[in-house]
A and B are shown apart, each in its own frame.
Chain A
Amino acid sequence: QVQLEESGGGVVQPGESLRLSCAASGFPFNQSSFHWVRQAPGKGLEWVAVISYDGKITKYTDSVKGRFTISRDNSKNTVYLLMNSLKTEDTGVFYCARDGNLYCSGSTCTYFDYWGPGTQVTVSS
């Protein structure tokens, strides 16, 4: 069955970095695009970034452009989110989600059909 498992969260100070990982299993990894979505404490969902199935297309929400980098390693069935220059407002649970459209690239990607359980990121001085 489809499984996504995030890791790498933790407590850091403002300005520091973290790299999140999302390990996938149970389906052909290289056919799927992936998203990161975050949820601040007690708040709603916010889309953060997407990477296409082949890694050639990436897109970001404006508030993380230049600070976050999404990438993937198809040999390890893993998606990453490198977060630099972290701010207190980046605090929240980060979810990895699979796009519901195979082989999608950015504008052809759709809804999120599977989600991981999430990993907590806390940015605090």
Chain B
Amino acid sequence: GNSVTQMEGPVTLSEEAFLTINCTYTATGYPSLFWYVQYPGEGLQLLLKATKADDKGSNKGFEATYRKETTSFHLEKGSVQVSDSAVYFCALSPGGYQKVTFGTGTKLQVIP
């Protein structure tokens, strides 16, 4: 079956530091890959996505590249802000209204 593995958290960074959250996946076929963000007390928001190999998803300064050769979709941001403090979920979808598989989530705390 499909699976998503994320780096363990929590991750604590100082403001303006570089962020990487690792995500690797196992899937048959060619899934779409996603990063969702959950701010404290809120639901999940789509942060970015990529639908095929070598696609780069980007939003709000965050980026992730779909690497089929390494089955990875690492999330990066060059300079984090306190407002980026949240839980980040990596996910994959096989498409066709099939079940989305989520990683365990990585909590990010950014301190001033």
Query: Do A and B assemble together?
Result: no
Residues of A within 8 A of B (CB): none
